[in-house]
Amino acid sequence: MHSYPELEDELVNIVTKEATNEEINKGRTILEKYGYTQDMSLFEQPTLKGLYINTILKLGLLTLLFIIPLLLLIKGEYSKIYSKITKVSMAAERVMDNDFSIVLPHDSDGDFALLNHQFNQMANRIKASLEHLKDDKIFLKNIISDISHQLKTPLSSLIVLNELMLNDKNMDKKTRNEFLSRSLSQLERIEWLIVNLLKMARLEAGAIEFKFDIIPLAQAVEEALCALDVKIKEKRQNIIISQLHENILFKGDKDWTAEALINIIKNCIEHTPTGGDIYIHLDESPLFSRIIIRDTGEGILQKDLPHIFKRFYKGSSSVKAESIGIGLALAKTIVEAQNGIISVKSQRGKGTEFTVTFLKSVI
């Protein structure tokens, strides 16, 4: 418009209002003279061609500037993730090889920290399960070995007695009755052994569910004495009871507690001479309920005291050849399964005292 001011009014009218078909066709004719046709691509126009190329180059450069760091960042993060996955994989292989010494770090935040924590927990549980299975296997092996060993002696005696009676057709009635009595004694011993071994096996395997009822401790004592009444009368022993009050309570299983007391009192009966005394005393405090059982028997050597609650242990001072050594071990297992404590003290020639304590703080 600076070059052709006389066309100002005409150009303004064309720009500010819709051109006519005649004007449009005339414009196309003029543009064709300068190489601008209707079919020409937008980017073939000389004015826009350079701008297009510059724009493409700039966009490409900007894209590279963003993509390359992004790719490097992704690669770095991927490497970190891959490294963490590899550590978990290698740790899993070591656990499968029974190597539980590896511990994955879980002291940070994030999903991998949670994964590592759960992996460590899984490894610990697998380790505990394997150790439990190993202990069960050892326990089963020991219990079978113990049963075999303990049954060997009475079974051998039975075989000998039966062979003697079978081979001696002229055996007098008194001798035969004596052999039958000894056979019966051995059979009773075998029965007692098997029953108590099975009880111990069930207890140690956790197959027994104890009842935890609030009951008088005297009831368990009376039940135990009733079961041992025949043995007590056979040896004409005196059971001296003090403080057998119904108001002394404990929380536990009456029948299994009586079973434990039977074995303790039976041990006192066996190691107390005929006509001897056995004292039973109950007491309690705000912290515990307690049973004290004391005999006037032979006593236990100090070197044997730490071992008398071990299964099949026979003290060196024991004079009973038929003693099996399972009763006190069974009593200890029962008492401790009910959150109780069993202890013993003894003096050679002056008797033995057993104390069974049930803590009230754990009730």
Nearest-CA neighbor of 293 among 352, 226, 248?
352
User: Which pLDDT belongs to residue 164?
Assistant: 82
Number of neighbouring beta carbons within 10 Å of residue 98: 9
User: Which pLDDT belongs to residue 279?
Assistant: 94
Find out whether 313 and 307 touch, Cβ atoms under 8 Å. yes
Q: What is the domain partition of the chain in residue ranges?
A: 5-83, 115-204, 213-362
H/E stretch holding 84 reads: helix 46-96
Determine phi and psi for 89, rounding to 5 degrees: -65, -45
User: Which pLDDT belongs to residue 178?
Assistant: 85
Rounded to 5°, the CA angle 101-88-69 comes to 135
User: Which pLDDT belongs to residue 357?
Assistant: 93
- Does 3.30.565.10 match the CATH number of domain 213-362? yes
pTM over 0.85: no
Give every CB contact of residue 156 below 8 A, 6+ residues apart in sequence: none
User: Which pLDDT belongs to residue 319?
Assistant: 47
User: Which pLDDT belongs to residue 185?
Assistant: 78
CATH number for the segment(s) 115-204:
1.10.287.130
Over the chain (363 residues), the average pLDDT of each successive run of 10 is 60 60 73 68 61 74 81 81 79 78 73 79 82 75 71 80 82 84 81 78 77 89 90 90 80 90 91 91 89 90 85 61 71 90 89 91 50
- In the numeric block, the tokens 């090889």 are attached to 97
Q: How far apart are CA 140 and CA 137, in angstroms?
A: 5
Q: Which of the 8 DSSP states describes residue 206? A: T
User: Which pLDDT belongs to residue 16?
Assistant: 54
Give Cα 15 to chain centroid, integer Å: 90
User: Which pLDDT belongs to residue 258?
Assistant: 92
